[in-house]
Amino acid sequence: MANGQITLDELRNMARQAGLKLSDDELQRLLPGINRSRKQVAELRAIVSLETEPAISFKRPRAQQK
């Protein structure tokens, strides 16, 4: 996974682990988009500091809220 980019072989393994039955043709079509997504994630990682929390929070079930 050089520079976060993956190869077709790596994608095939990941698909198997995810329980996805996809042909090599389909995996080949998916690969550019997946590598673009992974590049985007790397760029996003660069703009968050260690103190930045995710924009998600746990909510108690409504029945327990006053």
Partner 1 sequence: MKSEELCYLTIAEAAAGLRRKDFSPVELTAALLKRIESVDGRLHCFITLTGDQALRQAQQAEQELGSRKDCGLLHGIPIALKDLYMTENIRTTCHSAVLENWVPDHDATVVMKLREAGTILLGKLAMHEFAFGGPSVDAPFPAARNPWNTDHIPGGSSSGSGAALAAGLCYGALGSDTGGSIRTPSSHCGVVGIKPTYGRVSRYGVVPLSWSLDHAGPMARGVEDCAILLQAIAGYDVKDPASANADVPDFSSGLRREINGMRIGVPRARWFDENLGVDRQTEALFDQALKTLEKLGATISEIDGKPFSMARKANQTILVCEAYAYHERRFQEAPEKFGSSVRRRMLEGGFLSAADYINAQRARTALNEEIGENFSQVDVFATPSAPRPPEAFATMDPNEQNLRPSFTNPFNLTGLPAISVPCGFTRENLPVGLQIVARWFDEATAFRVAYAYEQATEWHKQRPEL
Minimum distance from CB of 9 to partner 1 (Å)? Answer: 13
* 2, 3, 9, 45: which one binds partner 1 (CB under 8 A): 45
Q: Does 3 bind partner 1 (CB under 8 A)?
A: no
* 1, 2, 18, 63: which one binds partner 1 (CB under 8 A): 18
CA dist., res. 12 & res. 35, Å (int): 14
The answer to whether 12 and 27 are in contact (CB under 8 A) is yes
| 49, 55, 56, 62: CA torsion to nearest 10 | 140
Minimum distance from CB of 26 to partner 1 (Å)? Answer: 8
